[in-house]
Structure 1
Amino acid sequence: ALWKGSKQRKKYMSRRQTFMSNIDSVVKIQSLFRMLAARKNYLSRLQYFRDHKNEIVKIQSLLRANKARDNYKILVGSENPSLTVIRKFVHLLDQSDLDFQEELEVARLREEVVTKIRANQQLEKDLNLMDLKIGLLVKNRITLE
């Protein structure tokens, strides 16, 4: 055992000395193997993504839709929404002349609808009154006969 340990130690020191004298080469070889392993991992992951492209796109769109919905809820429901949320919806605040004209048209149509509803209500009242009067006239005629 003393022989087997001494011999082993000499072997170990010799090997260590070889590595130390060639440390640059050892580091290059290690980095090459690490690069090859990382490349293999990257390529297999890339192939997985290519194989499942449709599912990934669906998941991404769902996540984006949920995030947009949450941001919109924050924008509408919160008293002080964050600046990032406001930035995402600032394009909705841009108003052009066309938007202004459309808003005026909507307001005009709304007023027109309100006046027509009131006119219809008045016509219904008049119709009910006439119906009542016709009923009374028929009743009077029957009593006269």
Structure 2
Amino acid sequence: MEVLVKDLKEVVETFSMRFQNNSLHGSDLYIEWETTRVEISIKIPEELEIVNSINKTLSGPSNAEYFRAALYLHETKTDLPKALEYIQKVTSSEKAFFFQVTREALILKDLNEISKAKKVAKRALRLSEKVKNNDFIRINKEILSL
């Protein structure tokens, strides 16, 4: 970081801070008071961040994004078949979390696919018991009792 201290010709009565020379690559922060200015050059390594963001976006949605989409579509009852499609992209992995698998069971139940919902609820119950989440244990037991 580059810091320059300069003497001013005119007196600055009020302490001030402002950004100057703004660009995509950085900015200069000017701090002034009385007859002194401190200039701090701030460089932004945005190119690498932007390229990484573009690559991530173009590589497709993440499991978290599929889960949020499925959750919204299910909670609003907007499009249950699409909610099921999205949640199954998440739960097809062995690394799926208990709440994600439970959501799949709930969507199947709301689609009136009870036998499939029970099968998924068994898996969700095992995962919920593993993490000792009593709320999800109860939800999955309710599905299994249908």
TM-score bracket, normalised by the shorter chain, equals under 0.3
Name the larger-Rg structure: 1
**TM-score calculated relative to the size of structure 1:** 0.24
- The answer to which structure, 1 or 2, has the higher relative contact order (CA under 8 A, 6+ apart) is 2
Q: Which has the higher helix share?
A: 1
**TM-score calculated relative to the size of structure 2:** 0.24
